[in-house]
Structures are given as structure tokens and as C-alpha cells.
């Protein structure tokens, strides 16, 4: 694959980085990322994933844009209120860069349909807001051998983790949270509140980690950091990193150990 002169111009600031380069940019153009959840994390993540020239995107969200989303879900505008998030995200993407190919789904992701939603992806970025969905996405990623960047945010704290449970010695998201949350347990931000820019920091940091994973082996941007969970504190501000160990009893990934 070679990049056209127009694409070389568009991504010139990437290509000049020794840590990305032309080979890295080609890798991004050949990559497919599934973004699950187009809310406070998925919106800014999608903006930077699309801006980085990732060639194929699959967007999944069953929700409709509400006026209260606009304080942090940066791809949506007042005109999108009442419209589906998935189709509104596709509209944003078409305006932003029509060279990128996009699949959208407005189905609610479940354990049954998650494998189809992420099929063919090189990486999944999950920014959904409940444990049942996150676990369904994680289990599907382990089964399909697809790396997962899982991100969450509330109030002034964000979390971004890189999981590759299909690899020996690497934890999956279920190793982190266990089985207790399989029930529908929505840790919604409606009651607790959330600073919009905090979702932006968490979402864009998730996009950065995703790009690192995609460029593994063709660039020197850094290791994916499997099993590392970065905790972002917006009040400090501060960031710390904890390590999630693979759970030998994990029912999603232990057989892959």
C-alpha cells in the first residue's frame, strides 16, 4: 500500500515523527478499529482515531443524542439531539474525512452479538458505561484474539487499560473486574456528574494507547503495556499506573494461558 500525495500531506506531521514514519502511517491506514460506545469517551477517541488516518472504523452505539450529552460528547451538535449516536457519528466522520470507511450499528451490544460487532477489527476501543457490556466486549475480544483498550470515566477520575487476554500471561478485562458485575450495573454519570474535559482527557488518552497498540512492530512509539491500567486524576492533576495480573481462574482467558 502506498499513500497518495493528498494523504501524505494530510498526515505529514505524523510521518515526520521517527516514532511513526511512513510505515506507521500505512499501518494506520490499513487498520480497522471498532469503537464501542460513542459517548464521553468514544466521541473524543473517535475524533483522534479518525484524525490519525485509521482506514476503517466500526461504530457501535444504541443510544440517541440527548441535550445533556453535549457538555462532553464532542462529535455531536445541537442539531443531532434526538438522532441516533451511531448515525450522527457517521455524519461527523463523513464531513471530517470521506476517505475513511465506516460501518455503524445502533444495536445494543450483548454477549450474543459482540463477536459480530468486533469481527475483523485489529483493535477494540470500549468506552461504554456499564460492566455487563464491557465484559461482553472483553470476552469477545479474548475469543477472537483482538486487543482491547477499555476506558471509563466518572467525576474527575479516568481509567484506561490495555488488555490482551488471548496472550499468555496477559490479563483480560474480566481478570480486572471479576464476574460480579455481569448483572446490568450501570455506573451512570447522571447522578454523580462529570467534568466534560475529564472525559476528553480520558478519551484522547485511550486513542493514544490504541495507536500505540496498532503501531506495535512497525514503529517505536512504545510497547502496548498489556495489563497496565492508567488512572487519570483530573484534580491533582496526576496519573498513576497499576498492573492487572492475569487471573488463573478467569473464565474468559484462563484457557488461553
Q: Please, are residues 52 and 207 in contact by the beta-carbon 8 Å criterion?
A: yes
Reference 58, options 115, 144, 117; nearest CA is 117
CA terminus-to-terminus distance, the chain: 35
**230 Cβ partners below 8 Å, 6+ apart?**
159, 160, 161, 205, 209, 239, 240, 241
Q: What's the chain's length in residues?
A: 257
Upstream peptide bond of 224 is cis (omega within 30 degrees of 0): no
Q: C-beta of 180: minimal distance to Zn ion in Å?
A: 14
How crowded is residue 197: how many other Cβ atoms within 10 Å of its Cβ?
13
Q: For residue 137, what is its C-alpha cell?
A: 466486549
Q: C-beta of 251: minimal distance to Zn ion in Å?
A: 8
Q: C-beta of 216: minimal distance to Zn ion in Å?
A: 20
Q: Which residue is nearest to Zn ion (CB)?
A: 250
**Closer by beta carbon to Zn ion, 66 or else 179:** 179
**Closer by beta carbon to Zn ion, 167 or else 175:** 175
Binding site for Zn ion (CB under 5 A): 165, 172, 174-175, 250, 252-253
Q: Tell me, rounded to whole angstroms, the distance of Cα 56 from its chain centroid.
A: 14
Q: For residue 64, what is its C-alpha cell?
A: 440517541
With vertex at residue 187, the alpha carbon angle to CA 136 and CA 163, rounded to the nearest 5 degrees, is 40
Cα distance between residue 172 and residue 147, in whole Å = 9
Q: C-beta of 133: minimal distance to Zn ion in Å?
A: 17
Cα distance between residue 253 and residue 171, in whole Å = 8
Q: C-beta of 257: minimal distance to Zn ion in Å?
A: 9
**Closer by beta carbon to Zn ion, 178 or else 237:** 178
Residues marked as catalytic: 189
**Closer by beta carbon to Zn ion, 165 or else 234:** 165
**Closer by beta carbon to Zn ion, 129 or else 247:** 247
Amino acid at each position: 500500500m502506498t499513500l497518495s500525495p493528498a494523504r501524505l500531506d494530510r498526515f505529514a506531521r505524523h510521518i515526520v515523527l521517527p516514532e511513526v514514519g511512513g510505515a506507521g502511517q500505512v499501518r494506520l491506514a490499513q487498520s480497522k478499529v471498532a469503537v464501542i460506545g460513542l459517548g464521553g469517551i468514544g466521541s473524543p477517541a473517535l475524533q483522534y482515531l479518525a484524525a490519525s488516518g485509521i482506514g476503517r472504523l466500526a461504530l457501535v452505539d444504541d443510544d440517541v443524542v440527548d441535550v445533556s450529552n453535549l457538555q462532553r460528547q464532542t462529535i455531536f451538535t445541537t442539531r443531532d439531539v434526538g438522532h441516533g449516536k451511531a448515525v450522527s457519528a457517521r455524519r461527523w466522520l463523513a464531513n471530517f474525512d470521506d476517505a475513511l470507511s465506516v460501518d455503524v450499528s445502533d444495536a445494543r451490544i450483548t454477549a450474543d452479538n459482540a463477536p459480530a460487532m468486533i469481527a475483523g477489527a485489529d483493535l477494540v476501543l470500549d468506552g461504554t458505561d456499564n460492566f455487563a457490556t464491557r465484559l461482553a466486549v472483553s470476552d469477545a475480544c479474548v475469543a477472537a484474539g483482538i486487543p482491547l483498550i477499555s476506558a471509563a470515566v466518572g467525576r474527575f477520575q479516568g481509567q484506561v487499560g490495555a488488555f490482551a487476554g488471548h496472550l499468555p500471561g496477559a490479563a483480560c478485562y474480566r481478570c480486572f473486574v471479576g464476574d460480579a458485575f455481569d448483572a446490568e450495573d450501570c455506573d451512570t454519570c447522571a447522578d454523580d456528574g462529570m467534568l466534560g474535559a475529564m472525559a476528553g482527557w480520558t478519551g484522547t488518552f485511550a486513542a493514544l494507547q490504541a495507536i500505540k497498540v496498532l503501531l506495535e512492530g512497525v514503529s517505536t512509539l512504545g510497547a502496548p503495556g498489556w495489563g497496565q491500567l492508567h488512572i487519570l486524576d483530573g484534580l491533582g492533576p496526576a496519573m498513576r499506573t497499576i498492573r492487572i495480573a492475569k487471573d488463573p481462574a478467569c473464565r474468559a482467558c484462563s484457557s488461553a494461558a
